């Protein structure tokens, strides 16, 4: 599951009136800890991450992989595990003046029984510094399935951003995140992208318990770097 500013966004693809070149890019990096949609995925441990993307004329298709680890987790009802998260996604995005729209689909898969499969449809709309994202998904809780929704509103300006996210339907939980992301450059060369963020997750997402064993909210800080490479352009 991809983090804001470090992952692929539906809004990143731009459509033009003429057919654009096919581009294939790869990316790799690491975060001090992996938090996705307010939920800790590596329990304070660093995680290596990377992906591969193909884009053309606003269409995109890609995959992304991250280390995941909850082996130290002690919250009631959770099973400690570690492994890899493998995401597969595709969709289409378009910019029209100051407005942007996107639609896509994402599948989240895990190795070593870390978690079950999530599959969702993704929708987004933006205007200047405001972006709304909405996902409708299904979680494979064998032998049954659980439906969920996830919505965020993001404000960003000059690299700074703030977002509020909320789970719905059969899932619950809210979180707030503020951060800053930019590209480190030397002369005309872009070295890598970096992000710093603080996340406040409520008790439904934090997997933290108090001294009495009751779920409680928690605050997380993370820093991350990523580097993208052009592989093919035609």
User: Which pTM was predicted?
Assistant: 0.90
Using a pLDDT cut of 90, give the percent of the chain over it: 81
Buried b (16+ CB within 10 A) or exposed e, 181-195: beeeeeeeeeeebbb
Question: Residue 211: inside a domain, yes or no?
Answer: yes
Cα 215–152–91 angle (5° rounding)?
125
In the chain, the number of structural domains is 1
- Taking the CB of residue 141, how many other CB atoms lie within 10 A of it? 11
Question: Residue 1: inside a domain, yes or no?
Answer: no
Distance separating the N- and C-terminal Cα atoms of the chain: 29
Q: Beta strand 189-201 with 173-186: parallel, antiparallel or unpaired?
A: antiparallel
Cα 88–94–99 angle (5° rounding)?
125
Whether pLDDT at 219 is above 50 = yes
Question: Residue 5: inside a domain, yes or no?
Answer: no
How far apart are the C-alpha atoms of 191 and 95, rounded to whole Å? 27
Q: pLDDT (tens digit, 9 = 90+) per residue, 154-166?
A: 999 999 999 999 9
Question: Residue 119: inside a domain, yes or no?
Answer: yes
For 19, counting Cβ atoms within 10 Å of its Cβ (0-12 exposed, 13-18 middle, 19+ buried), the class is: exposed
Q: pLDDT (tens digit, 9 = 90+) per residue, 55-76?
A: 999 999 999 999 999 876 655 4
Question: Residue 159: inside a domain, yes or no?
Answer: yes
Q: pLDDT (tens digit, 9 = 90+) per residue, 84-112?
A: 999 999 999 999 999 999 999 999 999 99
Question: Residue 93: inside a domain, yes or no?
Answer: yes
Q: Which CATH number goes with the domain that contains 66?
A: 2.40.160.40
How far apart are the C-alpha atoms of 150 and 128, rounded to whole Å? 22
Question: Residue 4: inside a domain, yes or no?
Answer: no
pLDDT at residue 141, as a whole number:
85
Give the domain extent around 151: 10-233
How far apart are the C-alpha atoms of 4 and 198, rounded to whole Å? 12
pLDDT at residue 31, as a whole number:
99
Peptide bond preceding 13 in cis form (omega within 30 of 0): no
Question: Residue 2: inside a domain, yes or no?
Answer: no
């Amino acid at each position: 599951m991809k983090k804001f500013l470090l992952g692929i966004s539906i809004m990143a693809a731009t459509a033009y009136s003429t057919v654009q070149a096919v581009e294939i890019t790869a990316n790799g990096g690491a975060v001090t800890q992996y938090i996705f949609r307010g939920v800790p995925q590596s329990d304070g441990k660093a995680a290596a991450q990377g992906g591969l993307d193909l884009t053309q004329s606003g269409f995109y298709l890609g995959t992304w992989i991250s280390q995941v680890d909850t082996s130290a987790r002690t919250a009631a009802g959770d099973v400690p595990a570690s492994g890899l998260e493998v995401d597969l996604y595709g969709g289409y995005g378009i910019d029209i003046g100051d407005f942007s729209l996107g639609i896509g689909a994402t599948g989240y898969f895990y190795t070593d029984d870390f978690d079950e499969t999530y599959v969702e449809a993704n929708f987004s709309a933006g205007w200047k510094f405001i972006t709304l994202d909405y996902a409708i998904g299904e979680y494979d809780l064998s032998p049954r399935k659980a439906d969920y929704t996830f919505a965020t509103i993001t404000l960003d300006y000059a690299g700074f951003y703030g977002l509020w996210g909320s789970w719905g339907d059969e899932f619950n939980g809210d979180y707030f995140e503020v951060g800053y992301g930019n590209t480190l450059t030397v002369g005309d060369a872009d070295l890598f992208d970096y992000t710093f963020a603080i996340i406040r997750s409520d008790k439904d997402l934090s997997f933290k318990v108090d001294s009495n064993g009751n779920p409680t909210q928690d605050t997380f800080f993370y820093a991350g770097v990523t580097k993208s490479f052009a592989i093919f352009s035609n």
